[in-house]
């Protein structure tokens, strides 16, 4: 609950700041692909999945800013065993990241790096064995809230006026155990995700 309260506070603060300084704010769609797996699980292979939602950035100045994303994120795990077991986890994931931009605002190409927390709210979870059409609902086996860290890099490319194409690569290690009622004799199982995405941000 504490991470959710902190995230709500950050979103409230950012919204108030944006309202006072709208000219420094941009917002638009983001779409990409996840390559996710579980940690501390034998024979774990990355599972690809869709990420889709809204991205926004408030610039404090020419060098720094705050990015807030709200994304549907398809994550989970696949096994390298035969038959393969696929676990799909659907999250509504929020990201708050501190950005560092390179080059000047007048430049059309601006590299960036960023870091910040992310919080996932589990929407659904299912298991499916390779070769079977049946999906088994396993949402009760997983915790509803997942807290993670985002380490990102990328670039913004001006495509016209105050419109920017954002290209990002992110590493998102989970910080909390995702298994509900985990036995005390096993290591914590966490999400781990590599994400590649593109976004189109419109300056306001």
Please report the pLDDT score of residue 37 as a whole number. Answer: 97
Residue 170 CA neighbour count, 13 Å, CB half = 30
Q: Does domain 2-8+26-203 have CATH number 1.10.287.70?
A: no
* Residue 33 near residue 51 (C-beta atoms within 8 A): yes
Q: pLDDT category, 44, cuts 50, 70, 90? A: very high
Cα torsion through 127, 133, 137, 139, rounded to 10: 40
Note if the pTM is more than 0.75.
Answer: yes
For the record, the structure tokens of 116 come out as 């910040």
Kindly tell me if the per-residue pLDDT of 186 is higher than 70. yes
Please report the pLDDT score of residue 15 as a whole number. Answer: 47
Please report the pLDDT score of residue 19 as a whole number. Answer: 41
- Please indicate whether residue 30 or residue 204 has the higher confidence score (pLDDT): 30
53-107: pLDDT as tens digits? 999 999 999 999 999 999 999 999 999 988 899 999 999 999 999 999 999 988 9
Q: For the chain, where are the alpha helices, taking DSSP H only?
A: 2-20
- Please indicate whether residue 4 or residue 77 has the higher confidence score (pLDDT): 77
- Rounded percentage of the chain residues whose pLDDT exceeds 90: 77
- Coil vs helix vs strand at 167: strand
Segments making up each domain of the chain, as ranges: 2-8+26-203
Work out the number of other CB atoms within 10 angstroms of the CB of residue 102: 12
CA distance 97 to 9: 14
- Rounded percentage of the chain residues whose pLDDT exceeds 70: 89
């Amino acid at each position: 609950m504490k991470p959710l309260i902190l995230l709500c506070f950050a979103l409230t603060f950012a919204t108030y700041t944006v309202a006072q300084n709208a000219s420094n704010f941009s917002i638009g769609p983001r779409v990409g692909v996840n390559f996710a797996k579980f940690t501390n699980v034998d024979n774990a292979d990355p599972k690809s999945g869709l990420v889709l939602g809204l991205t926004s950035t408030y610039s404090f100045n020419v060098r720094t800013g705050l990015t807030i994303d709200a994304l549907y994120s398809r994550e989970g795990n696949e096994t390298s065993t035969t038959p393969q077991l696929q676990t799909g986890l659907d999250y509504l994931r929020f990201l708050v990241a501190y950005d560092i931009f390179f080059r000047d605002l007048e430049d059309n190409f601006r590299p960036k790096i960023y870091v910040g927390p992310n919080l996932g709210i589990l929407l659904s979870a299912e298991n499916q064995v390779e070769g079977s059409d049946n999906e088994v609902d396993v949402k009760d086996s997983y915790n509803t809230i997942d807290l993670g860290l985002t380490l990102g890099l990328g670039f913004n490319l001006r495509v016209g006026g105050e419109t920017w194409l954002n290209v990002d690569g992110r590493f998102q290690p989970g910080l909390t155990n995702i298994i509900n009622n985990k036995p005390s004799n096993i290591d914590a199982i966490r999400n781990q995700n590599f994400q590649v995405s593109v976004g189109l941000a419109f300056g306001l």
